[in-house]
Structures are given as structure tokens and as C-alpha cells.
Amino acid sequence: MRRTIVAATAIAAFACTEPILAQGPGEYEHVAEEYRVGDPNIAIQRLARWSEAAVTESVRYWAKLLRPEQLVAAAMAHTELAAAILDSLPHQTNVQLHHAQELLDALAARRDERERADAVRLRWYQFVISLFSSNARLDDADRYAKEALGRFPRDPVLILLKGTILELSAAYNVPAPPSPTLGRNRAPDSATRNGRTLESAAAEYRRALELDPHLAVARLRLGWVHVLAGDNRARDDLTAALGDAKDDTVRYLAHLFLGGLAERQSRFDEAATEYEAAQNLGNLHQTPFVALSRVETARGHPDRARELAHQLAALERIDDDPWWNYHLGALDNSALPWLRAEAHRR
């Protein structure tokens, strides 16, 4: 999600005892232009070295003067800076995101720019919610999700992300953020609480699918929640996700989850077929090798299981596995490239 080299530089800049002030009234505009048509990394690094007072003053002043495309670029510079410093400077992350929102508000206030502002803001919310979810900051993710759904109540991706927050709450065994679909006035034990939270996540995924029946990621997540719950609808959901998938990441995960379902039901031949299909889509990912080795052991093929383990160990590299991205809540990365392209649009 983050541009390379920005994070370390941004953190070091914030740690400076003497932050750099804006050099002149036009400096903030130069940062926006640098992000838009120059080197975005340089723009973000320069912004990171300003004092908070200088940034606040510049945003307030330039929000009324920047051209629409510069407002988008400036908002994204603040947003990417926020992402770069999230792990080490979470308070400053929220400050930077607040500045981005101020700039988007200014864009929306311009005549004939409301439609563009709404399109940018929608994807901005999608990115920010995913950013917090994938860093296990579920309260922040939920706060932005509620704010976003207040503006865009029928957006299926936002509803999907709300479900993801609930699913992650169950996975991390933490109380879920308040939800209308969760019961009140009870303090259930951990197992009961997690079960109810997964039910609420499934309800959100169904809501998303009512609005977009072919939203493959929502169908995939609903299917996996049904696997965890032992729900007989899991297979149909995962098969539908496979059919609706528009990219290999969803196809890879659908095969893994179908294999996991079959393995849980001791249908080991079917599980092996699904895991092999996943391996064909991601032969540099770790999970299919591990899953296949486990199934081959269950099928009474220890030599094949050891062979798979050796094949995994012999790989020259192992790519980032979508399996882990899924379980960290970071499956959909489409919002950030869209926002970057919009900021760079001339």
C-alpha cells in the first residue's frame, strides 16, 4: 500500500527537533505540483518535514486557491504520508488524514466539482478503512466506515469493508465495534461473541451482494465465514466467487477455501484437487505447498508430502501470499491506484 522509501524518511523527518517551515506562500502549491507531475516521494518527504502549524496554516490558506487537480494531489500527499507513518506515529496519521479531508471538502465546495469530489472521497474512504483494518486498528477503521456509510449508504464496497472489520474482530478475538446486527445488553463468552460477530459480518456481506450480486470478494468472504460456521451454503458461495472472480487473487483464494472446506469434511481427494488449482495460480506462494503436504499425509502418501516440502524449500523466492493479506483484511488494493491516477491526471 505504501510507496517505497517514504516511510523511513517520513518518520525521521517527524523526529527532527527542528521541523522545516514552509519557505514561502507558494511552497505548499509546489508540494501539490510535485506530487501531481513530479516525484510523489519527494513531495511526501518535503511535507513530512514541515511543522504542524505551517501545514495547518497552508491547508487553510491554499484550500481556496489550489486548482481542483492540485487539491486532489495535495489530499493524496497527506494521505500517503499518513499511511507511511501509521505504525510509529498514529496520532500524526489522524492529523494528516484530517488535512486530506479538509482538502476534499474544499473540492466538493467548488462549482461543478461535486461529482468528482464524491468519486475521490468514496475511494479515499475505501483506502483509509482498508489501511486501518490491515493494521489491526479496528476502532479507527470502524469510525471511518461509519462516516463513509453516512455519505454513501448504498456503496457495496463500503458495506463489504464494514463486514471485514467484523470478521477481523472475530479473528483477533476482540469485541466487535457496535453494530445494529449485534445483540445488546449481554456479555457472552468469547466463543459465543465470536460466533455472533461472524453472523454480523455475514449479514454485511449479504447486504453488499444485494447491491452488487457479482461482487466476488464479498461472495468469497461470505463463503469463508460460512466455512468457519459449518454452514452448508459455504460451497455454493465459494463456487460463485470463483465464477465471478475478475482476477487471479480471488480465484487463488477461492480454490484454497474450497480445498479447506473439503479437507475439513475429510474429502481429501477433492481437497487436493482444489489446492493443486490454487498452486497453479500461485506457484510461488507458500500456502498451497503446506496445504497439499498436509492432505497428502492424510491420504497416506508421506513420500509425496515430503517431496512437496522439499519443493517449497527449494524455491528461489516466495511471493507475498494473498492468503495472509486476506486474513489481515487487505485483499482489495484497487482504491489506492485509482486515487493515485486521479491525482496525476492532467
* pLDDT tens by residue, 61-97: 999 999 999 999 999 999 999 999 999 898 899 999 9
pLDDT at 332: 62
Residue 338 reports pLDDT greater than 70: yes
Fill in the amino acid letter for 236.
Answer: D
pLDDT tens per residue, range 228-268? 999 999 999 999 999 999 999 999 999 999 999 999 999 99
Distance CA 1, CA 328 (A): 13
pLDDT band at 182 (very low <50, low <70, confident <90, very high): low
Q: Is residue 96 helix, strand or coil?
A: helix
List Cα–Cα distances, 234 to 134, 173, 200, 263, 299, in angstroms.
24, 22, 16, 13, 24
How confident is the model at residue 189, as a pLDDT? 55
Residue 2 confidence class, pLDDT cut points 50, 70, 90? very low
Query: Domains, the chain, ranges and CATH?
Result: 1-110 (no CATH), 136-213 (no CATH), 214-332 (1.25.40.10)
pLDDT above 90 (res 102): yes
Locate 341 and state its grid cell.
Answer: 491516477
Residue 10 has pLDDT above 80, yes or no: no
Handedness of CA 288, 293, 296, 298 (dihedral sign): negative
Q: What backbone torsions phi and psi does residue 50 show, to the nearest 5 degrees? A: -80, 150
In the block, residue with C-alpha cell 482489495: 332
Mean pLDDT of the chain: 90
Burial of 240 (0-12, 13-18, 19+ CB in 10 A): buried
| Threshold 0.85, pTM exceeds | yes
* pLDDT 10s digits, 21-31: 444 558 999 99
Query: 3-class SS at 3?
Result: coil
Percent of the chain with pLDDT over 90: 81
Q: Residue 140, CB half-sphere, CA atoms under 13 Å: how many?
A: 19
- 84-87 long-range contacts, CB within 8 A, separation 24+: 84/2, 84/3, 84/6, 84/7, 84/10, 84/11, 84/44, 84/48, 85/7, 85/10, 85/11, 85/14, 85/48, 86/131, 86/132, 86/135, 86/137, 87/135
What's the confidence (pLDDT) of residue 257? 98
Q: What is the pLDDT of residues 117-166, one digit of tens each?
A: 999 999 999 999 999 999 999 999 999 999 999 999 999 999 999 999 99
Residue partners of 9: CB distance under 8 A and separation at least 6: 45, 48
d(Cα 266, Cα 147) in Å, to the nearest integer?
44
- Quickly state the pLDDT bin for 5 (edges 50, 70, 90): very low
